[in-house]
Structure 1
Amino acid sequence: MKVGVIMGGISSEREISLKTGEEMLKMLDPNKYEAVPVVINKKEELAEKVRGLDLALLALHGAFGEDGTVQAVLESLNIPYTGSGVLSSAICMDKDMSKRLLRAAGIPTADWLCWNHIDEFSPEALEELGYPVIVKPSSGGSSIGMTKVNEPDELRAAVMEAFRWDRSVMAERYIRGMEITCPILDGETMPIISIIPKAAEWFDYDAKYTANGAVEQVAVLPPELEREVRRIALDCYRTLKCTVYARVDMILSDGFPFVLEVNTLPGMTSASLLPRSAKAAGLTFSGLLDAIIAVSLKERGVPVHVR
């Protein structure tokens, strides 16, 4: 089976995608797959570079990767790919839209505002939300362009920074608590991971990608709370029509979970949260990739043939 690891891309998360892709290439079992790197530098080259693949293993992050665009191109070329489909990918990438759907489904998520153009920005609109807030690009990831705003004087600069990265910007009520993530594979929840930044107040870019920036370990939660977290994670997965695998990020505040976002293509380096959860479940990185590939092929209606 010829598996192309699709990485790079054109988003602000390109370098993170390249790291994910390199790790996947190292961990794909050579006895099962013919693994080839497919580095995307511009949109126009995708169709040509993926020709002849039996499967596209997506290591992309951000726009033209997680937002359904690449998935749509691959479907038009009849090339199976890993992860969620076009609709789910697009919805989950748009944090404003996904939060609206989650809120409509009764799933707890922090209050927020969204501006689709800088001309819509109004500091007065935040009076009901209160401070502090997290300002971030609506369709970004990896905490790029994200700022914690503690008082009104800091707001405009944070909004301008977020608009550098996206055409739509959110201000979300900051909820103090412990960040956790609940990965899901083939409709089943995996071990919940807690995230405690070592130096930062919240799980920002440096905490995510600096060595030893955060303590990430299997969360030990009271049984009732753990059941609630897993239930909410699955409700998110189903509400947003995710398939194959995803990662649901939450904040636990006074024992109550609030959903932050749902990632349809979470980071996949050996130090990333999903592989860490899989390891806690007794699944190696290679085994995790095997499972993602097998479930993706099943989801796309393709018989599994590995050499």
Structure 2
Amino acid sequence: MKIGVIMGGISSERDISLKSGESMVKYLKDGKYEAVPIVIDKKEDILNKINGIDFALLALHGQFGEDGTVQAVLQTLGVPYSGCDPLSSALCMDKDLTKKILKASGIRTADWYNVKSAEEIDYEKINKMGYPIVIKPNSGGSSVATFIVQKKEEVLRAVEEGLKWDKEVMIEEYIKGDEITCPVVDGELYPTLAIKPNAEFFDYTAKYADGGADEFIVELEEKLKIEVEKMALDCWKALKCSVYARVDIIIRNGIPYVLEINTLPGMTKNSLFPKSAAGIGISFTRLLEIIVEKSLKVRA
């Protein structure tokens, strides 16, 4: 089977996508599939460069890749692809819609509201949340243009910066606590990882630089473990995920809050998903093969 590893793209996360894609090609070649890199530089490339492949393994991140657009094109063309479908991808990419669905499903998440312009900033709402707050692009990823804002005077600049990257910006209650992530494959939980960034939060550098964060499998206290695992699987079901996704959670004073759901989590050598899989004896190559196999069953 000839697998095209789709990478690059046009989003702010292009560089990370290229790293993910290069890793996936490298490790897939150690297994049973023929893997070829397909670099997307502009939108029409998804039509022009996929001829002759039997399966599309998506290493794209951000808009036009993680938001359901590419998935819809591949589905229309009859090319089976990895990961979640267009609907689930779009929902999880839009942080505001994700949180609305979580709230409607009774899944705990931090308070928030969105703005589309600086004029929509409501300082009364912010005061009710209390400083610090988090300001970030609504549909961004990899913590690009994400700020922890300590005081009123910093709000406008953070919102304006976020609007350079997206049409909407989220203003969110800051939950200070211990960050964990729960990888899910086909509705089954893989080992939970604790994330200890060597910075104020799990920012771009902490995510992708060597030594940027300590990430390790963690065994939670039994009651908390049960709640976290149920929360992760409830997210998976509520957002209609398929094949694989990663649920990011933060725990404050023993109470877990969902941060977001990643439908195309990073797959570099520093990425969380391969580290979790390794904890149950699954190599990176085998993890990629499992993703291909599970995707083919869903897309058959």
**TM-score, with structure 1 as normaliser:** 0.96
Verify: 1:172 aligned to 2:172, yes or no.
yes
Alignment of 1:199-278 (within 5 A): 200-278=199-277
- Using the TM superposition, give the Cα deviation of residue 121 of structure 1 relative to its aligned residue in structure 2, in angstroms: 2.6
**In 1, are the aligned partners of 2:183 and 2:191 still within 8 Å (CA)?**
yes
Q: What pairs up with 1:267-306 in 2 under 5 angstroms? A: 267-301=266-300
**Alpha-carbon contact 1:182-1:190 (below 8 Å) kept:** yes
Tell me the matched-pair count: 300
Q: CA RMSD in A?
A: 1.0
SS in 1 for 2:129: coil
Equivalent in the alignment of 1:108: 108
Question: Could you tell me how far 1:45 is from its partner in structure 2?
Answer: 1.7
| Paired letter, 1:205 | Y
Quick one: which amino acid aligns to residue 12 of structure 1? Answer: S
Q: How does 1:135-146 map to 2 (within 5 A)?
A: 135-146=135-146
Matched to 2:113, the amino acid is L
The match for 2:18 is: 18
Displacement after TM superposition at 1:209 (Å): 1.7
1:270–1:285 CA contact under 8 A, matched in 2: no
| SS of the residue 1:250 aligns to | strand
Please give the secondary structure, in 2, of the residue aligned with 1:98: helix
Match of 2:76 in 1: 76
Q: Deviations over 1:34-78 (max 9, x none)?
A: 111000000012111112211000000000000000000001110
Aligned AA for 2:32?
A: K
Structure 1 runs of 4+ aligned residues shifted over 6 Å read none
Instruction: Give the whole-Å Cα distance in 1 for the aligned partners of 2:154 and 2:161.
Output: 11
Rounded to whole Å, the distance in 1 between the matches of 2:127 and 2:253 is 24
Give 1:123 shift.
2.9
Q: For the Cα contact (< 8 Å) 2:30–2:285, is it kept in 1?
A: no
Cα displacement (A) at 1:127: 1.8
CA deviation profile, 1:265-298 (whole Å, cap 9, x unmatched): 0001122000000001110000100100000000
Partner of 1:304: none
Structure 2 counterpart of 1:132: 132
Correspondence 1:118 to 2:111: no
Q: Aligned partners of 2:147 and 2:194: how far apart in 1?
A: 22
TM-score normalised to structure 2 length: 0.98
Q: Which runs of 5+ in 2 are unaligned?
A: none
SS in 2 for 1:3: strand
Residues 112, 31 of structure 1: CA spacing in aligned structure 2 closer, same or farther, 3 A cutoff?
Answer: closer
Structure 1 residues 85 and 207: alpha-carbon distance in aligned structure 2, compared to 1, 3 A threshold: same
Q: Tell me if the contact between 1:191 and 1:281 (Cα under 8 Å) persists in the aligned partners.
A: yes
Aligned equivalents of 1:89 and 1:239: distance in 2?
13
1:122 and 1:253 map into 2 onto residues whose CA distance is 26
One-letter code of the match for 1:155? Answer: V
CA deviation profile, 1:109-142 (whole Å, cap 9, x unmatched) = 0000111233323333312211111100000000
* CA distance in structure 2 between the aligned counterparts of 1:298 and 1:116, rounded to whole angstroms: 40
Q: How does 1:24-39 map to 2 (within 5 A)?
A: 24-29=24-29, 32-39=32-39
Identity of aligned residues (%): 56
Which residue is equivalent to 1:90? 90
SS at match of 1:128: helix
Q: Within 5 Å, which residues of 2 pair with 1:37-76? A: 37-76=37-76
What's the CA shift for 1:31?
Answer: 5.2
Q: Letter of the aligned partner of 2:183 in structure 1?
A: P
Q: Higher mean Cα deviation, 235-244 or 28-37?
A: 28-37
Residue identity in the other structure for 1:122: D
- Give 2:218's aligned amino acid: A
One-letter amino acid of the structure 1 residue matched with residue 112 of structure 2: W
